[in-house]
Each structure stands twice: as C-alpha cells, then as structure tokens.
Structure 1
Amino acid sequence: MKAIAQPARTLLSPHDHALLLIDHQSQMAFDVRSIDPTNLRINVGSLAQTAKGFKVPTILSTISKDTFAGPLFPEITEAFPDAEVTDRTTSNAWEDENFIKRINAVGKDRLVIAGLWTSVCCNGPVVTALEQGYEVYVVTDACGDCTTEAHERAVARMVQAGARPITALTYLLELQRDWARTETYDTTINIATRFGGG
C-alpha cells in the first residue's frame, strides 16, 4: 500500500462542524471539583476564541439563567458579545425545541460539544446526538463535575457511545494544522499565548 499525503477524515477542519457550548455559567460552576475552575474557564475561553477566530458556527445555551444558574462565563461573551443564547429549563439541551431548531439551521452533521457539568450538560446532548446519527467530538477539559469519578464515568459513557474525546488545545491546533495557513496564523498564536501560557 502506498501512503498519500492527505489529512485523515476524522480530523476537524474549520468548515466541517459546529461548536456547542452548553451551560458554562458561573453559578453552576460552584461544585466543580474534577478540574480547577480557573483551568476550566481558560479552556472554555480558548474554545470560544478558537471558534470565533476560525469562523466556526457556534451555538450557545444556558439553563435557567434568570432564576439560579446565572450568566455565561465572560470568556464566552467576550468572544461572542452579540450571539443568540438559547435559555432552557431542560437538563438535556437536546430536549429543547429552540435548541434543536438552531442545530438544524446550522446544518452540520459533525458537532464539537462542551458542557459545564460532564455528566449532565455534556453527556445528555452528546449521547442523544450520537443516537440521532451525528458525529460528535467532546472537549473533555472544557467540562467538569462534582468528583473526578463522575467526570471520568461520564467521559467513558460518551466514548463508549461513539464520541471522540479531544481537548481545547487539540481543537485549536487541529483547526490550524499547517503553519503555512497565514490567514489564521496570528489568531492561533494569540490564543495559544493568552490561554496556553506560551
């Protein structure tokens, strides 16, 4: 067999997916213990800025923001100050009709998903999307849970269902992939410097 210089089909590119950021709300982060909250916010900020810089369609959602969960992390609203945010009451965002309308409007069958609580905000939409035939990547360091055990079991469940686990840094570098891509070179360097300690 002869090798061919081309990317693997499963590698992400800026134009082949949508990013879903679900329930990254400050008042909901109070009991996250599986990742340091500062690192969580850094990773979420990196994701948001990467999607903005590479012009990836991004869907933002909150749960009960006016009653108990509060606003989105400022790291997200800084990247998307005028974005529509779907507020819901359902724990599983995929069970909200308005959220689904937005996914259908984007028209991508490949999704990258991160949600604040791994076992709830992330797990529900990931498993449901997979059951409906979507190809799903889950950003495991842009979510967290009340214990390491809860986080790890949720990630294992999503992977067993067919999700591909990635990290926020993997996402950035996979979209750039070639340093000759000068149109996003500065974007990539700036995000890595700001959020990666470069």
Structure 2
Amino acid sequence: MPLAYKRLDTENCVFLFVDHQSGLIQLVRDFEPHEFKTNVQGLARVANYYKAPSILTTSFETGPNGPIVKEITDTLPDAPLIRRPGQINAMDNEDFVNAVKKTGKKQVVISGVLTEICVAFPALSLIEQGYDVFVVTDCSGTFAEHTREAAHKRMAAAGCQLLNWAAVAAELHRDWRRDIAGFGAIWRDHIPGYWCLMQSYDMAGKAQQGGQ
C-alpha cells in the first residue's frame, strides 16, 4: 500500500521559526553565512506571502544565544515571539505549545538553529502529538554536514518530511498562474540566478505588448 502524499496546504499550516538567534547562528557551519541568511529570509517571506500563522521562539536569549535576528521579525512583525527562559525543547514550554494549538493547524513547517537540537527535539515532539511535520532543511543550520545528516535521518525515521524552502513555497502555491509576479519575486530575490529568469520573462512580456 503506497503512502499517502501529504502535501502542504495554505489553509492548514503554521510556520515555526525556532531559535534563529544572533549567537546561535554564528555556530552554523553547514551553510555559508550569506546563503543561510538568504534562505531564512526567503522562508519568512513565504510565510508572509501566504498569510500563514507564524510563531517565533528563542531560548535563553539573555544569555549567549542572543536575540532573534531582526530579518525575521521585520518580515513577520505580527508573529508572536515566545521567549523561553531556558527550555531547550520548545515543546517543553507551555506558552509555545499553547501558541501552536491556538492556530488550529495540523501541518507544521519548522526551521531553526541548531538542526539536531532546536529543530529535531520539537519536531519529534510534534510528530508524537499527531502533527504532520515539514522540516525546512536549508533554513536549519548546525555545526557540520555529518551532524545535520544524522539529525535528518532521525527525523525522517520518525515521520518528518524534509524539504527546502523553495519546495515549501512551490507546494503551497500549486500553480504558477495564481500569481506569477508575486510568487516569482520571492524566488527572484532568494534563489541564485532566478533574477535572470524573471528579467527574461519581464522583457519578453514588454516586447509582446510593444508588438501588439
């Protein structure tokens, strides 16, 4: 019996940004700094574009972990920010758990720093509680590729789906014809080389209009 294809649905998903903090992000070594920043900003724009509920959280931000990076709060200014006083697993924090439940969504799109801790721990807890969990691999960073791979295997074995931020965007969008300009603008700004494709598309459109 083949497994059912559980595709992301704009009406049933919540985005969780876990511990993208200024101190912790300095530990990310499995992505180049600019690449990681671009990916995370892209995912935040996707959440904002689809008007999906988003929840931000930090762990012990008064300590070395630092505050959440402003690029996320600038893009998602209305998203609640749960400041955990010390719990490492965000799902051990009652305020965070209640914020997730309050959305009423059963699909969870999660990303964070560090992958094997701040992402894996709540992802496994969410699976245990019956949520469908989608881990955004290129918006979650850690010490090294081998620690990332171990975390991915652990989460996949538990039933988490692993995908990158562009796949999240595309699966939610379903059809380019819904909004070429708006959807394409996110890809243009956050996928290397896509700005050239959008320029070609724009120029072709202008040429067609001029020839009419």
Shared fold per TM-score greater than 0.5: yes
Aligned equivalents of 2:144, 2:113: Cα separation in 1? 13
Equivalent position of 1:117 in the other structure: 114
Residues 71-90 of structure 1 mapped to structure 2, 5 A cutoff: 71-88=67-84, 89-90=86-87
For residue 9 of structure 1, report the CA deviation from its aligned partner: 4.8
From the superposition, tell whether residues 192 and 56 of structure 1 become closer, same or farther in structure 2 (CA, over 3 Å): same
Aligned equivalents of 2:13, 2:73: Cα separation in 1? 21
Aligned equivalents of 1:75, 1:39: Cα separation in 2? 14
Aligned equivalents of 1:37, 1:143: Cα separation in 2? 12
For residue 40 of structure 1, report the CA deviation from its aligned partner: 1.4
Paired residues of 2:19 and 2:112 also in contact (CA < 8 A): yes
For residue 74 of structure 1, report the CA deviation from its aligned partner: 2.5
Runs of 4+ displaced beyond 4 Å: none
Please tell me whether residue 157 in structure 1 is matched to residue 178 in structure 2.
no
For residue 153 of structure 1, report the CA deviation from its aligned partner: 0.2
Aligned equivalents of 1:41, 1:116: Cα separation in 2? 12
| 1:86-140: CA deviation from partner (whole Å, max 9, x where unpaired) | 0111110000000011011001111111111101110000011111111111011
Equivalent position of 1:4 in the other structure: none
Equivalent position of 1:190 in the other structure: 185
- Of 104, 109, 117, the match for 1:107: 104
Paired residues of 1:41 and 1:73 also in contact (CA < 8 A): no
Question: Over aligned residue pairs, what C-alpha RMSD do you find?
Answer: 1.4
Please tell me whether residue 44 in structure 1 is matched to residue 40 in structure 2.
yes
Aligned-partner residue type, residue 186 of structure 1: A
Q: Identity of paired residues, percent?
A: 34
Aligned-partner residue type, residue 83 of structure 1: A
Aligned equivalents of 1:151, 1:14: Cα separation in 2? 28
Aligned-partner residue type, residue 163 of structure 1: C
**Number of residue pairs aligned between Structure 1 and Structure 2:** 189
Q: Which has the larger radius of gyration?
A: 2
- Of 41, 53, 56, the match for 2:49: 53
Equivalent position of 1:3 in the other structure: none
**TM-score if structure 2 supplies the norm length?**
0.85
Aligned-partner residue type, residue 8 of structure 2: L
Paired residues of 2:53 and 2:79 also in contact (CA < 8 A): no
SS of alignment partner, residue 101 of structure 1: helix
Aligned equivalents of 2:191, 2:30: Cα separation in 1? 19
Aligned equivalents of 1:19, 1:32: Cα separation in 2? 21
Equivalent position of 2:61 in the other structure: 65
SS of alignment partner, residue 76 of structure 1: helix
Paired residues of 2:16 and 2:109 also in contact (CA < 8 A): yes
Equivalent position of 2:205 in the other structure: none
